[in-house]
Amino acid sequence: MNMSDISIRTEGHAGRITLTRPKALNALSYGMCMAVEQALDNWHDDPVVALIIIDAEGDKAFCAGGDIVELYGTGMDGDYHYGRKFWRDEYRMNAKLAEYPKPIVSLMHGFTMGGGVGLGGHVSHRVVCDSSQISMPECEIGFVPDVGGSYLLAQASGRLGEYLGLTAARMGPGDAIHAGFADYYIPQDQWPELIDWLAVSGDVGAVASAAQPVPDSPLAAQQPQIDALFGGDGLQDLLNALRGDDSDFAAKTLKTLLRNAPLSMAVALKMIHRLRGPSLTIRKALEMEYRVSHRIMENGDFLEGIRAAIIDKDRNPRWKHAPDVVPDDAVAQMLTPLGTDTLGFEED
């Protein structure tokens, strides 16, 4: 890892984690994930550190996701071990953030996607601003919502989880709070003062005090329609419902689904349905996600999805299955327990 990618320090009573890779939209490398985990471990019993603040440099993004170009190279060489280790260790870090005993404040401006949601979306105090654009875009590249994204999607009200997970729709601040991906709206020009006060006081109550009324959520207005269209059991049911609806929203949504990876969408739908309910924990979600990430390079559309979106940029992925004929056994295979390779949350 390049140490210029992340800045870790203490200021007053605050542990500070700042992503400093703005040119790469603060994409999370393996080294950055490990540095975050190390910082969490170091501050766990430090009496000086009362709370932790996670933010990022640059105008455009808090964190636009994981650094997948690195994963692509190893996967194309037939080395699936590197990706599996990356995901296993990243997911352990996501669980640590979610379960941390001290308050953690995340300041999620601009693009906050995939791995960025894993970093900022599970902590105790999640702040958004006007520029915030939060999404789980994995189905666009032949993967599934991971880094604990399935945990948030399964808890979103009604069928928002299915909609957000399968379409990769972006949420502004009002939508993110409505869907349970954020807690507080604070205009970004007030962040420096808030950070200073948190460091001086060590009092996380300052976040709620600084919060402004939540902006409107277009998603909330759309929710009755989303709930009706995304209530089906399988991907085919959703496609049928969208084809049978003559609204502009349904037509636009159908177009999006027909572009995304069919196997990914079918698996993501099954995951959200299985996870939803009172027994859901972040670890349960991460363990199920890891079943998919462990297999995705070898058996899924992930490498082809990255090729089409990022490597060749031809935007013309050749998915393994057509949207209307994703075999049930292909979905089941992705979600079968991993036995000895099951995700654990201890360090190797």
177 touches 219 (CB < 8 A): no
Q: Which of 37, 140, 146, 301 is catalytic?
A: 146
Q: What is the spatial distance between Cα 75 and Cα 302, in angstroms, rounded to a whole number?
A: 9
Residues in the chain: 348
What pairs with residue 61 in β-bridges? 110, 111
**Composition of the chain by helix, strand, coil, percent to 5:** 55, 10, 35
State how far the alpha carbon of 54 is from the alpha carbons of 8, 87, 128, in Å: 10, 21, 12
User: How many CA atoms are closer than 13 Å to the CA of 11, on its beta-carbon side?
Assistant: 14
State how far the alpha carbon of 204 is from the alpha carbons of 52, 126, 299, in Å: 9, 12, 45
Q: Which two tokens stand for residue 288?
A: 């199920």
Q: Which of 66, 161, 180, 300 is catalytic?
A: 66
- Is residue 146 annotated as a catalytic residue, yes or no? yes
Which residue is it, tokens 């996607």? 113
Return the ∠ at Cα 172 (arms to 215 and 31), rounded to 5°: 130
Q: Which of 67, 138, 287, 301 is catalytic?
A: 138
- Is residue 65 annotated as a catalytic residue, yes or no? no
Q: Which of 15, 110, 115, 174 is catalytic?
A: 115
Q: Is 184 helix (H, G, I), strand (E, B) or coil?
A: strand
Which residue is it, tokens 């079918």? 266
What pairs with residue 111 in β-bridges? 61, 133
For the residues of 209-275, what is the DSSP string, one character each? HH-BPPPP-HHHHHHHHHHHHT-SSSHHHHHHHHHT--SHHHHHHHHHHHHS-HHHHHHHHHHHHHH
- Is residue 189 annotated as a catalytic residue, yes or no? no
- Is residue 66 annotated as a catalytic residue, yes or no? yes
What pairs with residue 19 in β-bridges? 6, 56
H-run or E-run covering 146: none
Q: Looking at the annotation, which residues are catalytic?
A: 66, 115, 138, 146
